[in-house]
Amino acid sequence: MLKFVRAHSPVRMAIQISHAGRKASSRPPWEGGSQLHPHEPGGWKTLAPSPVPHSDGEDPPLALDAEGLRKVRDDFVATAQRAVRLGFDGIEIHGAHGYLLHQFLSPLANERTDAYGGSLEHRMRFPLEVFDAVRAVVPEDIPVWMRISATDWVPGGWDIEGTVALSRVLKERGCAAIHVTTGGVSPAQAIKLGPGYQVPYAQRVKAEVGLPTIAVGLITEPEQAESILAAEEADAVSLARAMLYDPRWPWHAAAKLGAHVFGPKQYWRSQPRQYKDLFEGSRFGQR
């Protein structure tokens, strides 16, 4: 996932770490995305805060006990340590899209009655423990941030007020930014789609919490991304599907907006005639 910003960012290569929880053991999206039951080839018993399946008819997950919670925390820590050894200079913890940490946050998936369920403070406990554990083993000069679904789009689910509250606590714990997305925890979600439809949530977190925010959601055009940054609605824009469709999106965006990009020398002669100085340092730029 590429973070498109106007200025040069100190984070050149970041990695996202996650645990799918009850949404694991599933077929790829292009094969329907349905659950693979434990008895099917390639399937396994999934884990979650509570034995509540994602969709009706699915195999219920196992509720994590104290030992399971410790193992998940340790797995996040081990993944972060591997990322540091491999040279990544930014780590994003995925607490959105119905994955395990989001499941703990949302009352739709978390029906626990212990210290990890019930009140907002209790539902935030495990995601915060994971963040603290990761932050503790990552060098101080490597930023760690979290991706959060700002709303479940379901009445009685996780909402923007909870997102703001969680973001404030994360800020106190040294979180570098909040990547603001929405949905994913329930098939009952009623998403109101439109260009940049999730940006207002990023804008609210930025305004009320004071952390840098990353915006995402039907942001497809360079001018659209630039306007979000220029209006200070967010500090960065994240692209996924637009990049899959157009892997050279950053180059094309830079060309349209009059900016420059780094490109391997083998690509220098590919720049169109009207963008003769697109590539930084290109000796073909003045031809």
Which residue among the candidates 99, 116, 197, 245 is catalytic per the annotation?
A: 99
* pLDDT over 90, % of the chain: 89
- Residue 18 and residue 64: Cα distance in Å, rounded? 16
- Residue 121 and residue 109: Cα distance in Å, rounded? 16
User: Regarding the domain with residue range 2-247, which homologous superfamily does it belong to in the CATH classification?
Assistant: Aldolase class I (3.20.20.70)
Residue 282 — very low, low, confident or very high, per pLDDT cuts 50/70/90?
A: confident
The structural domains of the chain, with segments of one domain joined by +, span 2-247, 259-287
> Is 116 in the active site?
no
Element (H, E) at 95: strand 90-95
End-to-end CA separation in angstroms for the chain:
34
Q: Is the pTM of this model over 0.75?
A: yes
Mean pLDDT value across residues 169-185: 98
Could you report the per-residue pLDDT of 95-114, keeping only the tens digit for each?
999 999 999 999 999 999 99
